[in-house]
Amino acid sequence: MSLDQKKELQNFSDELSSKLIYRLFRDPMGVVGLLIVISFLIIAIFADFLAPYDPSKIDILNKLQGPSADHLFGTDQLGRDTLSRLIYGTQIALMVAGVSIGLAVIIGSILGAIAGYGPNWIDFVIMLLFDMVRSYPVIMFALAVVVLFGPSLFTIMAIIVATSFPTYGRLMRTQTQSLRQAEYILSARALGIGMPRILLRHVLPNTIGPILIVASMDVPFVIALEAGLSFLGLGVRPPTPSWGSILNDGYTYIRNSKWILISAGIPLILVTIGFTFLGEQLRDFFDPKIDRGSR
């Protein structure tokens, strides 16, 4: 890539970012979603400084305590601080979602682009792979993989990648096929414009939007999947704090203390609201059929 192309890519990225940020702050839904997402990111990054206690520290004498000045969200059946475990659980949830969805987007986009631009037989093989993977229900596939390979953080991320990349691959394939024969693409080629500039100015803006929208909408589902498997004891293994394992503790000891279950449900609800609102605003921003000037 030449220096001029790098500058053009940087200018395009800066312009797109500024417009997106401006659009998000114009809409209350976008502001709420963005603030929630940023808050969870800050909590995950600075968990070591924000957590008041060691999440694995056992204090049997103070087990199943309600909210107090020392323990804002109470303690669990082993006397561990619930707030500290929720804060560290944020790291697990966002790491699983970020890494797995990122890998799924990369794998799916590459295969989708190959299917869209390649010959028919490659398209057939890749689409057959997508259909084969998506033919299994996600939960049943996850349970089968966990039984075969054992519960672990790596297993959960592998399950999410395997079940998610066909979605992004199909989306990329559709985008590339529709744009390949678009009139403005053919006109640009006829004028002698190079392929890197065509991809930068015409293809990229029309492919990155739908993928970002779907990815942001998938984050709550991925986090809920990890929490569900951990709730069943098939995900993150103790004593690693996970929202799902905290939910399991709260459900088991709900007669003794309802605060554990309530505290573990709050972040799941908030992260769903935050990424859903953010995804809605991304859809409005990138969808060319929506009149942005009327909002």
Strand-pairing partners, residue 75, are: 81
In a domain, 200, yes or no: yes
Q: Classify burial at 14, counting beta carbons within 10 Å of its beta carbon; exposed 0-12, middle 13-18, buried 19 or more.
A: exposed
Query: Which pLDDT does position 112 carry in this prediction?
Result: 81
CB 133 within 8 A of CB 170: no
In a domain, 177, yes or no: yes
Residue 225 is part of a domain; what is its CATH number? 1.10.3720.10
- pLDDT digits 0-9 by tens, 139-180: 788 888 888 888 888 888 888 898 888 988 888 888 877 777
In a domain, 98, yes or no: yes
Closest CA to 130 of 147, 102, 109, 103: 109
Q: Calculate mean pLDDT across residues 199-207.
A: 66
| Matching residue, tokens 């970020």 | 98
Residues 6+ apart with CB under 8 A from 131: 166
Query: Which pLDDT does position 118 carry in this prediction?
Result: 66
In a domain, 72, yes or no: no
In a domain, 63, yes or no: no
Range(s) of the domain holding residue 88: 28-51+79-287
Q: What is the pTM of this model?
A: 0.78
Could you tell me the pLDDT band of residue 292, with boundaries at 50, 70 and 90?
very low
In a domain, 267, yes or no: yes
> For the chain, how many structural domains are there in total?
1
Could you tell me the pLDDT band of residue 215, with boundaries at 50, 70 and 90?
confident
Helix or strand holding residue 288 (H, E): none
Query: Which pLDDT does position 31 carry in this prediction?
Result: 80
CB atoms within 10 A of CB 21: 12
DSSP 8-state code for residue 81: B
